[in-house]
Structure 1
Amino acid sequence: MKERAIYNRIKAALAENGKTNLWLATALRKNKVTVSKWCTNESQPTLETLYQIASILNIDVRTLLVSNTSKTNG
């Protein structure tokens, strides 16, 4: 089975802030299944929605993204 690429950290950010998928779905007025798919990286929210999530959680939007560069020394 092919492993799904991880693009966002929404699930981790929610956990770090003591919030749930259902809480986020309610706050955004989105379907809970849609939010669940974002949290499992099955699908991705729009950039506008990422900014809304960051605003709701009072965090930097970059916190919600997985870096596309590896962190190496050198």
Structure 2
Amino acid sequence: MERINRIKEVLVIQGKSQVWLAEKLGKSTTAIAAMCNNRTQPHLKDLKKIAFVLDIDIRELLVSTKE
């Protein structure tokens, strides 16, 4: 499975849990777990909300294509 987002990494760095993020976004923990494990990808609107909640630039949530 291709790694596209870094949501799980950012949560670990900030010391926050997937349950915490699910509560902040009003989403199920199953949906957040799927995003964190790159089984599904969030819509851009959701990615923007995640960036806002985590107080980071939206680009920090994505894996660079220029590594």
Higher helix share: 2
Matched to 1:10, the amino acid is I
Long gaps (5+) in structure 2: none
Q: TM-score, normalised by structure 1?
A: 0.87
After TM superposition, the structure 1 = structure 2 runs for residues 43-58 of structure 1, keeping only pairs within 5 Å, are: 43-58=40-55
Deviation at 1:68, TM superposition (A): 1.4
Aligned residue number for residue 36 of structure 1: 33
Q: State the number of aligned residues.
A: 67
Deviation at 1:69, TM superposition (A): 2.1
Structure 1 residue runs of 4 or more that deviate by more than 2 Å after TM superposition = none
Q: CA RMSD in A?
A: 0.6
1:23 is paired with a residue of what secondary structure? helix
Q: Which of the two has higher C-alpha Rg?
A: 1
